[in-house]
A and B are shown apart, each in its own frame.
Chain A
């Protein structure tokens, strides 16, 4: 049994970590981009960002004052059990979000879409979002918080099979350029591409690809992995750098996630996880241990399974013998 108090405390720590500490994988990616950048202004911006991460860490203050839209991803091992059940878990995550808003402090960002009213704590109607996933093994719970920028850098389009890779590239470039000008997307970013699924799945997957995979991670499908690298390269050859200044740092990495879609369509989404790529994760074990990490480890073989049955690799191998 995982104690609800532990969940709430851990969630509060995660809120602060996400807001303050740039994840190592993104930091390394940005340092590499800064070393390679030749545009004067673009270089200056990247240098200022590196200083900003340092200042945030030293002062324990948020790296960006725009809180974005804080949200939660929860993953449970199949035998995990939570004190008070999922209802208590959701309350704990909402409470942690509200508390962190005053304690860090974070700017209260969430308002009603029509009345523009808010509770000054980033909690409200359907806020923060909480998404769930499961793994076949384990009695642990993974808590992941992501504070993604909420206004620019994301787009959706219904493409068709005939549009092919050429159509994918066109929409990808269009999105990067439209939101890259003046740096509206706060690039260089981790670009997530969702391909397939129903329209809502496309959006959800693209966002997860941007926010829940670390820099350097490749899709297990070798052809998709090759396309990820090709799109990264393509984005960095636009001639545009940070803030839309002349340069070449647009994309720190590109992640593609696919889902089976309608036989007639090929919906696509593009998401940019910005210069303040804020994510933090922890695994809570049944015996009370808490392990913090920055890799969400969200996309597992189980999450990407294709058939009715799920068999761990080991069993499959045994059968073959």
Chain B
């Protein structure tokens, strides 16, 4: 079961992912996905939520897993695509669309880089019974690329371009991902941050704040930049 370290639990899920499966996930579990996973980021959100473009039909039945990602892919010249690597992009920028997106798409899992704040989880994820999986590394593009077995469809390739289009990937053991938020809105990153911050007073001993300050500067090192 375990990969890398004996203490890490490894779970395989099928899409669309059920509520029961989500409830079983614990912060720090490693997840692999089977079925269909689609990409969607600011281009898709803006066009569907602000400009009124309808979502693909029966999206939630095909998949409820939305990956914040742009693939390294090119058309193969025969109507298909050559998918190389796949990596998550930083999700915190998309928080403002997510509540409406969950409602419109029926998505229950968001995958991306770096997660969001537990405040965002409580505001947007918990009421919609959704969780966040983070990519690993974050440079595990080749491993994720291997998990893609085919491209089921690409929506809006012309309109949004390769990076922003909605790619629907058929996947087998796509992963690894790590459970960053649970159904209660707890964040693994925040838990880890809190543990690390304890060490900072000692760490900063013997350093000196810069003579020239910056607007808005704070010495509170439990702050985050996202």
Contact = CB atoms under 8 A, between A and B. Distances in A.
A166 B143 contact: no
A17 to B, nearest CB: 14
Contacts of A171: 210
Contacts of A120: 161-162
B74 A105 contact: yes
B17 interface: no
B137 A49 contact: yes
Contact of B208 (A56, A167, A274): A167
A52 interface: yes
The majority secondary structure among interface residues of chain B is: loop
Contacts of A234: 203
Contacts of B196: 238-240, 244, 246
B210 A163 contact: yes
Interface stretch (B3-11, B54-62, B94-102, B103-111): B3-11
A239 B195 CA distance: 9
Nearest to B76: A105
B211 interface: yes
B4 A43 contact: yes
Contact of B192 (A104, A179, A237, A246): A246
Nearest to A56: B142
- Size bracket, chain A contacts: 35 or more
B156 interface: no
Given A158-B212, A171-B210, A177-B221, A55 B142 contact: yes
B73 to A, nearest CB: 6
Residue with the highest number of chain B CB atoms closer than 10 Å, among A55, A64, A186: A64
Interface string B185-206: 0001100110110011001101
A160 B8 contact: no
A78 interface: no
A160 B226 contact: no
A15 interface: no
Contact of A184 (B30, B114, B142, B195): B114
Residue with the highest number of chain B CB atoms closer than 10 Å, among A43, A53, A62, A67: A62
Interface in A143-180: 151-152, 157-160, 162-164, 166-167, 169-171, 173, 177-179
B136 interface: yes
Contact of B142 (A62, A163, A242, A246): A62
Contact of B207 (A107, A170, A239): A170
A183 B114 contact: yes
Contacts of B140: 48-49, 51-52, 64
Interface in B55-106: 69-74, 82, 84-87, 89-90
Contact of A62 (B70, B85, B178): B85
Contacts of A151: 90
Interface of A: 40-41, 43-45, 47-49, 51-53, 55-56, 59, 61-67, 102, 104-109, 118, 120, 151-152, 157-160, 162-164, 166-167, 169-171, 173, 177-179, 181-184, 186, 234, 237-240, 242-246, 274-276
**In the A-B complex, the 5 residue pairs with the closest CB atoms:** A170-B207, A56-B142, A65-B87, A166-B208, A47-B4
Given A41-B188, A66-B139, 6 more contacts: A45-B137, A56-B85, A65-B144, A170-B208, A243-B138, A244-B192
